């Protein structure tokens, strides 16, 4: 049995506001920023135990990636993380026409596996709303005896550098002034997304593989997507959440009332 999963894109273009919890404009990156880079190529047969986790409250990032098994493995993997997104530029097919975009986290995995013992793994990308993120998360889980996978994961939440603005705070102010003028917004942001979380994968497998994606804003929004497949499948899939970078002031219901 063989099935093909058509690419699915979940995109949330949200307009924020000042003074309520709806706003998810880009976060201001720390002046003294931190980075982490890891690149590896592994080929062999035996016990596999791999895990990476990155949690950064300053940029609303929570990331876990784990897998374990016992079999034949070829792995070519890269992790790159920077609190300053201007220092991490990658080409993402589904973001701004595939041009180089600023990211806070980029993960690229090319892998083949075969073994009598299933390779079991999970990945979680979470943009924490409590710390100024989207309130969205993407999760992948699998338990397979055979798999060939080419996958990219990405995340960004901070303001990009713009020479026309004196500071990240100045960029946010300019975005607010641009309002509904999409040409001005595009000129300010360039090729850079704002509040982005996503995963793109192409894989074939024998076993169980699936994804969960959700976005929740209390009293305002609830998006959920779940897929799980057991058997022999081919899958090509994109999941993406992102936000319009322009803050918008909403008028409170009690505006003008002496409370």
Say how many C-beta atoms besides its own lie within 10 A of residue 95's C-beta: 22
CA 113 to chain centre: 25
Indicate whether 9 pLDDT > 60.
no
The pLDDT value given to residue 222? 92
Q: Can you say whether residue 29 is alpha, beta or left, with left for phi > 0 and alpha for psi between -120 and 50 degrees?
A: beta
**Six-digit token string for 165:** 């603005």
Instruction: Give the integer Cα–Cα distance in Å for 204 and 181.
Output: 43
Q: How confident is the model at residue 14 (pLDDT cuts 50, 70, 90)?
A: very low
Give the Cα-Cα-Cα angle 96, 102, 108 (nearest 5 degrees). 90
The pLDDT value given to residue 244? 83
**Six-digit token string for 14:** 């949200």
Query: What is the three-class DSSP state of 49?
Result: strand
Instruction: Give the integer Cα–Cα distance in Å for 72 and 115.
Output: 6
The pLDDT value given to residue 210? 97
**Six-digit token string for 239:** 């999941």
The stretch 194-201 carries a mean pLDDT of: 93
Q: Can you say whether residue 9 is alpha, beta or left, with left for phi > 0 and alpha for psi between -120 and 50 degrees?
A: beta
| Mean pLDDT, rounded, of the chain | 87
Secondary element (H or E) of residue 153 = strand 136-156
Crossing angle, helix 168-178 and helix 182-189, to 10 degrees? 160
Indicate whether 16 pLDDT > 50.
no
- Torsion from C-alpha of 70, 72, 76, 79, nearest 10 degrees: 0
pTM for the full predicted model: 0.86
The stretch 210-225 carries a mean pLDDT of: 91
Indicate whether 151 pLDDT > 90.
yes
């Amino acid at each position: 049995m063989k099935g093909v999963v058509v690419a699915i894109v979940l995109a949330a273009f949200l307009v924020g506001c000042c003074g309520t919890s709806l706003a998810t404009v880009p976060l201001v990156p720390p002046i003294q920023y931190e980075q982490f880079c890891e690149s590896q190529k592994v080929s062999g047969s035996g016990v596999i135990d791999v895990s990476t986790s990155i949690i950064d409250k300053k940029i609303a990032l929570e990331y876990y990636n784990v897998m374990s098994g016992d079999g034949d493995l070829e792995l070519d993997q890269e992790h790159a993380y920077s609190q300053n997104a201007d220092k991490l530029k990658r080409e993402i097919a589904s973001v701004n026409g595939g041009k180089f975009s600023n990211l806070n986290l980029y993960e690229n995995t090319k892998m083949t596996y075969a073994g009598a013992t299933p390779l079991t793994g999970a990945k979680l990308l979470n943009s924490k709303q409590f710390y100024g993120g989207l309130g969205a998360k993407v999760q992948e889980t699998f338990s397979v005896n055979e798999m060939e996978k080419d996958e990219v994961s990405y995340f960004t939440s901070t303001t990009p550098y713009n020479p026309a603005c004196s500071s990240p705070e100045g960029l946010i102010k300019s975005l607010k002034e641009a309002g509904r003028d999409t040409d001005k917004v595009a000129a300010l942001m360039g090729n850079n997304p704002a509040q982005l979380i996503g995963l793109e994968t192409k894989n074939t497998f024998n076993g169980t593989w699936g994804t969960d994606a959700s976005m929740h804003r209390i009293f305002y929004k609830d998006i959920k997507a779940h897929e799980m497949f057991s058997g022999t499948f081919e899958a090509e899939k994109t999941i993406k959440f992102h936000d319009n970078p322009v803050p918008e002031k909403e008028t409170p219901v009690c505006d003008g009332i002496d409370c």
